[in-house]
Amino acid sequence: MRRYLQLLWIQLRASLATAMQYRVNFIIDGVMSLWWMIWTLVPLAIVFGGRDSVANWSFPEALLVAAFFTVLRGIIEGAINPSLATTGDRIRTGTLHFVLVKPADGQFLVSTSQFAPWKVVDILAGVVMAVIAFDRLGRWPSALDLLLCLVLLAASTLVIYSLWVLVICAAFWVVRLENLAYLFSSIFDAARWPLDIFRGWWRIIFTFVIPLGLMTTYPARAILGKLDAQTALAALAGSLAIATLSRMVWLTALRRYTSASS
Amino acid sequence: MRRIVRAFPTLLRIGFAEAVAYRAEFVIWMLTTTMPLVMLALWTAVAREGPFGRFTQADFVAYYLAALIVRTLSSSWVVWEMNQEIRMGTLSLRLVRPMHPFVSYTASHLAAIPLRGAVALPIAVILLLTVGNHVASDPVVIALLPLVVLSAWILAFVAGTAMGSLGMLMERSIAVWEIWMGLFAVMSGYLVPLELMPRWLATAAEWLPFRYLLGFPVEAIIGMADRAAVLRGLGIQWLMIGAATLISAAVWRAGLRRFEAYGA
């Protein structure tokens, strides 16, 4: 365990060093984050300019969902995307072998190989949005609700990461998948809205197939104290299940990879 | 010029063959245009209790389905292509050919239109079947619709080549494109119909090119723009295409000097 923490630290430091070299990028990325935040807020402001509530969500509550969306997008683009996006290329060109021969878990090495530290700006922007939302609500969450919300956000990250690993595993079978990554992020865009605006089979898809609802709506409900324990437990169990599944698929895919090329 | 005219059909054939060869990627690329559907879900939820502005639920359905069609037909990925080729140096391959690279880009993008049409057609059928009484009924407007969408395509493409050429002048030219896309999303009516936006934003949108890439064609399709408005919009589209062409040519020329200076 300690060895892995050390490894994580080394990889993080390497990414930080790289990021420091391109300081101008920090400014560009910062501006871009603010830019996309406004982008998120414009429709929200217009909708709630004409309505008090939509699908039983008031403006501050919907703002919370948008805040969690921004935080999660920061995590995805800062910690998950950069390393996993290059894995597809490694699989295609065979350089994944250089990773696999190292004396540590392959999945760990692959998923920590690169970070984009500047994306912290996104996470901060999301936190600011959440604070504004609670300021508007005029009350602050209880410690327990906050804790549950953080646990659920961690579970969301786990789910996103696992889905990504599953996408990567597809690269062992189909060769090119840059577009698949785009598809993933464009679908994730739907998570900026509360799940309740979707009806019928949309909601079923966004709850069970691509659990967007679980990612942003449940944490928002949790921090508002509107999530019952049963749903929370189900969400946690679901995220653990998908994490296990992705790990198993990764191991299977890896066995196939090694036997095919060496 | 005559050489280009002779070569063009071949370029189109190559472009079409490429589009067919990478059809799976193409379909996935098209599927990434989910935003109008998400906005559709949102706005129908909003309009469930009653119309928003003058938009009823059916109006929103017509608006976003039309937006999906226009986006499918007229978006352009030429920036990505140029950016990649400039960074990898493979642009040189296009430069040694005896015609302007913009010609070959144009051909390959034009050639993808049949496939894009194949994606857009079912959406158009759904649009007509579900909210058929919310589309343009003026025969002149209907006759002008293909031209309006084509003009939007040309404007997007030319603006794309301008930003793509920037790649020769600056390292992170893709950031310019991202800013452009952010502006596009808000100012074109892609996320929210321009009519529903605050007055000052809607006025600003009148003067920016983004509205003429999406919002204006969509309004024409769903019959929210009358004959005069459509003709006026077409005029503005072509003024902007003219301006964008000049900018694109200037950036290209300036960039090419830099690019050649690399020794490529």
Question: What per-residue confidence (pLDDT) applies to B174?
Answer: 80
Alpha helix segments (H runs only) across A79-119: 81-93, 96-100, 106-111
Q: Average pLDDT for residues B84-111, to the nearest whole number?
A: 84
- What was the pLDDT predicted at A96? 80
Q: How far apart are CA A244 and CA A240, in angstroms?
A: 6
Tokens of A62: 């919907």
* Better-scored residue on pLDDT, B54 or B261: B54
Nearest residue to A171 (alpha-carbon basis) of A100, A102, A256: A256
Taking 3-state DSSP, the helix, strand and coil percentages for chain B, each rounded to the nearest 5, stand at: 80, 0, 20
| Contact A36/B at CB under 8 A | yes
Query: Average pLDDT of chain A?
Result: 83
Q: How distant, in Å, are the alpha carbons of A137, A261, B41, B43, B116 from that of A197?
A: 21, 48, 7, 9, 30
Rounded distance between C-alpha atoms, residue A188 and residue A181, angstroms: 11
Which chain B residues are Cβ-neighbours of A213 within 8 angstroms? none
Contacts of A32 in chain B (CB under 8 A): 175, 178-179, 182
- Name residue, tokens 């990612």: A215
Nearest Cα to A76, choosing from A207, A198, A165, A169? A165
Q: Chain B residues contacting A, CB < 8 Å?
A: 25, 28-29, 31-35, 38-39, 41-43, 45-46, 49, 52-53, 172, 175, 178-179, 182, 185-186, 191-192, 196-198
Q: Which two tokens stand for residue B244?
A: 């964008």
How many CB pairs (< 8 A) connect A and B? 81
Q: Distance, in angstroms, between B25 CA and closest chain A CA?
A: 7
A173 touches chain B (CB under 8 A): no
**Partner B contacted by A200 (CB < 8 A):** no
- Label residue A177 by pLDDT band (50, 70, 90): low
Share above pLDDT 90 across residues of chain A, in percent, rounded to a whole number: 9
> CA distances (Å), A165 to each of A206, A238, A259, B28, B72, in order?
19, 16, 20, 19, 29
- State how far residue A45 is from chain B, nearest Cα, in angstroms: 9
**What is the rounded distance in angstroms from the CA atom of residue B199 to the CA atom of residue B180?**
21
Task: Please check whether residue A161 is in contact with residue A80, taking contact to mean a CB–CB distance below 8 angstroms.
Answer: yes
What is the length of chain A? 262
What ranges do the domains of chain B cover? 2-262
CB-CB under 8 Å, B31 with A183: yes
pLDDT of residue B35: 81
Q: How far is A7 from chain B (nearest CA, A)?
A: 31
pLDDT in tens, B195-235: 888 888 888 888 899 999 999 999 999 988 888 999 999 99
Name residue A125's amino acid: A
CA distance A155 to chain B (A): 24
Residues A231-257: tens digit of each pLDDT: 888 888 988 998 999 999 988 888 877
Q: What are the beta bridge partners of residue A54? A: A57
Model confidence at A28: pLDDT above 80:
no
Judging contacts by C-beta atoms under 8 Å, the chain B residues touching residue A176 are 25
* CB atoms A189 and B31 under 8 Å: no
Residue A129 burial (CB count, 10 A): 21
pLDDT band, very low/low/confident/very high, at A262 (cuts 50, 70, 90): very low
* Chain B partners within 8 Å of A179 (Cβ): 25, 28-29, 32
Calculate how close chain A gets to B29, using CA atoms only, in Å.
6
Range of A11-20, A114-123, A213-222, B228-237 with top mean pLDDT: B228-237
**Could you read off the pLDDT of B43-59 as tens digits, one per residue?**
888 888 788 888 888 88
How does residue B153 score in pLDDT terms, banded at 50, 70 and 90? very high
Average pLDDT over chain B reads 86
Question: What per-residue confidence (pLDDT) applies to A176?
Answer: 62
Higher-pLDDT residue of A40, B105? B105
What pLDDT is stored for residue B152 in this prediction? 94
Q: State mean pLDDT over A128-147.
A: 89
Cα A133 versus chain centre, distance: 21
Per-residue confidence (pLDDT) for residue B264, from 0 to 100? 46
Give me the mean pLDDT over the B26-32 stretch. 75
ipTM of this complex prediction, to 2 decimal places: 0.75
Asked if A28 lies within 8 A of B175 by C-beta distance, the reply is yes
* A197 close contact with B: CB closer than 8 A: yes
pTM recorded for the entire structure: 0.83
